[in-house]
């Protein structure tokens, strides 16, 4: 672009603030909608992926009462603190069933709300010798073995490495903070079997537990199972449900498929919204660019009369359109960044779906992509206007008077 075009374009944008801001706002809408839409859908996919990784077991076995308590998915996946126990003899019974590859018990306990502004935190205990679901996750941020009275905390907990937390009068030491998963697993505390048994015992001693008649050494809350090679999940699942009474074996994939369904529902809605916004904004932009250029026919005719070529007139209109689109698409990205990134926890709660922001490189890539396609769309919208301006009947317009 030569200096005349540049100067004239910038001057026209500044001297017509309402029109410029209006058009830029439309392009902003384009880039904002596609950027935030992409980011939300990507975060949900990412959250679902991390949930799959974290669940890491083919089958979960819980006491039968647990399935009737409330929505089981909520208990397991959304971490709504509910806890339940079954006799530890079930572990042996189930372990003996054919087709079991890996098997490990987990122990659940909810803390009481201690002090103001804290809510019950779910404490999950695992058996360090057999666990295959929680320890790989811990290894991502902590490489040592958990000692007695050590806990690791989920990423969304307001506790940090070195802090001391008190549960039922027992002081525990925060050894590590886990990577974010974007699920309610982030608000739980994880510890080994012996520590959680001490906590359960302490809760019983202090009479702060509804299960007054349990012996912490003789109960488990949940059994995680990976099926051995050569067996299908269904076979093992049916075996357990037929042969072991008072427990319910659940295929974890089924729980995730429920989430997948709502995820694809939400992403469909977002996709449709983005498309509607795009169609509306593009139509308005094409009309707005054309009308606002045609209002300035006289100015363009004058430029033509003093020797501007058709190409130069088209360049002027295009230059304005591209500059406005560039500004609008950048503002849209900034707006999307400000509205999505800080509010990711809120969105996780609002959608009731796992929500984990993608890596910064992917966010940047999405921003770049959204900016580019909005810029291209904005530029295309003014092509019609610039074509019509380049074909104006100069003589006729100049004669039309003022």
Partner 1 sequence: MKKLCNIVTLILSLILSVGVMTFADACHNKMMGKWMHCHYVQMDVFYIGIGLIVVSLPALFIKNEKIALISAFVQMALAVVAILLPGTIMDMCMMHTMRCYSVMKPFVTVMGILVIISALAGEIVNLLGGKQQK
Partner 2 sequence: MILRAEGISKQFIRKSGTTNVFIALSETDFTLSEGKLTVITGRSGSGKSTLLNILSGLLSPTQGRVYLGEQELYAMSDKELSILRNRHFGFIPQGQSAIFTLNVMENVLLPYSLYGEYGEGREYAKELLALMDIAELKDAMPNELSGGEMRRMTIARAMIRKPEVIFADEPTGDLDDENTEVVFSLLKQTAQKGASVLLVTHENDAYEYADEVYKMSKGVLHREK
Residues lying near partner 1 in the complex (CB under 8 A) are found at 113, 116-119, 121, 155-159, 184, 186-187, 338-339, 342-343, 345-346, 348-349
| Site track 12-41 with partner 2 (rule: CB under 8 A), x = hit | x--x--------------------------
Please calculate the CA angle 59-65-70 and round it to the nearest 5 degrees.
85
Q: Please identify, using beta-carbon distances, which residue of 182 and 321 lies nearer to partner 2.
A: 321
Task: For residue 274, state whether it binds partner 2 (rule: CB under 8 A).
Answer: no
Shortest Cβ 301–partner 2 spacing (Å):
8
* Token digits of residue 394: 């100069």
For the stretch 262-272, what's the b/e string if a residue is b when 16 or more beta carbons lie within 10 angstroms of its beta carbon?
ebeebbeebee
Interface map 370-399 toward partner 2 (x if CB under 8 A): -----------------------xxx--xx
Distance separating alpha carbons of residues 44 and 210, to the nearest angstrom: 36
* Residue 349 contacts which entry, partner 1, partner 2, none (Cβ below 5-8 A, type-dependent): partner 1
Residue 74: which of 184, 178, 180 has the closest Cα? 184
- Residue 68 engages partner 2 in binding (rule: CB under 8 A): no
Nearer to partner 2 by Cβ, of 65 and 400: the residue is 400
Q: Is 168 or 300 the residue whose CB approaches partner 2 more closely?
A: 300
In the complex, the smallest distance separating the C-beta of residue 305 from partner 2, rounded to whole angstroms, is 4
Binding mask 284-323 for partner 2 (x = CB under 8 A): --------------xx-xxxxxxxxxxxx-----------
Q: What is the closest distance, in whole angstroms, from the C-beta atom of residue 117 to partner 1 in the complex? A: 4
The minimum distance between CB 392 and partner 2, in angstroms, equals: 10
Residue 355: how many CA atoms within 13 Å on its side-chain side? 22
- Asked if residues 175 and 150 have their Cβ atoms less than 8 Å apart, the reply is yes
Residue with tokens 């304005």: 320
In angstroms, what is the minimal distance from the CB of 12 to partner 1? Answer: 18
Going by DSSP bridges, is the β-strand pair 222-227/164-167 parallel, antiparallel, or unpaired?
A: unpaired
Query: Which one of 5-13, 39-47, 92-100, 234-242 is the stretch in contact with partner 2 (CB under 8 A)?
Result: 5-13
CB nearer to partner 2: pick between 19 and 198? 19
Q: Choosing among partner 2, partner 1, none, which partner's interface includes residue 2 (Cβ < 5 to 8 Å by kind)?
A: partner 2
- Closest to partner 1 by CB, 153 vs 313, is 153
User: Exposed, middle or buried, 116 (CB in 10 Å: 0-12/13-18/19+)?
Assistant: exposed
Helices 3-15, 310-340: axis angle to 10 degrees equals: 60
Beta bridge partners, 110, equal 122
Q: Which does 81 bind (CB under 5 to 8 A by kind): partner 1, partner 2, none?
A: none
Contact 191, 125 (CB under 8 A): yes
Residue 43 contacts residue 347 (beta carbons within 8 Å): yes
Residue window 75-114: x/- pattern of binding to partner 2, with contact defined by CB under 8 A: ----------------------------------------
In the complex, what is the shortest distance from the CB of residue 332 to partner 2, in angstroms, rounded to a whole number? 27
Torsion over CA: 282, 287, 288, 293 (sign): positive
Could you please report the per-residue DSSP string of 267-289? HHHHHHHHHHHHHHHHHHHHHHH
CB 185 within 8 A of CB 54: yes
**What gap in Å lies between CA 124 and CA 113, rounded to an integer?**
16
11 binds partner 2 (CB under 8 A): yes
Q: 342 contacts which partner out of partner 1, partner 2, none, CB within 5 to 8 A by kind?
A: partner 1
Please give the residue ranges that form the binding site for partner 2 (CB under 8 A). 2-4, 7-8, 11-12, 15, 298-299, 301-312, 393-395, 398-402
């Amino acid at each position: 672009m030569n200096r005349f075009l540049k100067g004239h374009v910038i001057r026209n944008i500044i001297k017509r603030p309402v029109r410029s801001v209006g058009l830029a706002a439309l392009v902003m809408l384009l880039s904002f909608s596609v950027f935030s839409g992409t980011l939300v859908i990507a975060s949900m996919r990412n959250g679902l992926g991390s949930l799959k990784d974290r669940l890491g077991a083919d089958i979960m076995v819980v006491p039968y009462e647990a399935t009737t308590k409330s929505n089981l998915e909520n208990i397991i996946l959304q971490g709504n603190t509910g806890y339940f126990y079954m006799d530890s003899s079930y572990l042996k019974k189930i372990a003996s069933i054919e087709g079991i590859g890996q098997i490990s018990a987990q122990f659940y306990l909810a803390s009481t709300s201690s002090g103001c502004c804290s809510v019950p935190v779910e404490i999950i205990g695992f058996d360090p010798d057999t666990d295959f679901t929680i320890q790989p996750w811990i290894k991502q941020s902590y490489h040592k073995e958990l000692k007695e009275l050590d806990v690791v905390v989920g990423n969304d907990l307001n506790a940090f490495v070195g802090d001391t937390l008190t549960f039922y009068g027992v002081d525990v030491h925060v050894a590590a903070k886990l990577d974010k998963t974007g699920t309610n697993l982030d608000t739980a505390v994880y510890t080994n079997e012996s520590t959680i048994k001490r906590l359960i015992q302490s809760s019983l001693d202090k009479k702060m537990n509804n299960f007054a008649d349990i012996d912490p050494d003789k109960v488990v809350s949940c059994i995680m199972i990976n099926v051995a090679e050569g067996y299908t999940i269904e076979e093992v699942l049916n075996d357990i449900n037929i042969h072991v009474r008072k427990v319910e074996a659940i295929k974890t994939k089924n729980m995730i498929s429920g989430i997948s369904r709502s995820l694809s529902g939400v992403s469909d809605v977002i996709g449709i919204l983005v498309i509607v916004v795009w169609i509306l904004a593009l139509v308005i932009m094409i009309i707005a660019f054309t009308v606002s250029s045609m209002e300035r026919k006289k100015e363009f005719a004058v430029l033509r009369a003093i020797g501007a070529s058709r190409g130069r007139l088209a360049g002027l209109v295009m230059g304005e359109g591209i500059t406005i689109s560039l500004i609008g698409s950048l503002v849209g990205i900034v707006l999307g960044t400000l509205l999505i990134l800080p509010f990711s926890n809120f969105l996780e709660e609002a959608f009731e779906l796992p929500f984990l922001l993608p890596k910064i490189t992917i966010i940047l890539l999405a921003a770049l992509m959204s900016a580019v396609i909005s810029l291209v769309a904005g530029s295309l919208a003014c092509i019609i206007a610039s074509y019509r301006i380049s074909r104006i009947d100069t003589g006729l317009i100049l004669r039309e008077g003022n």
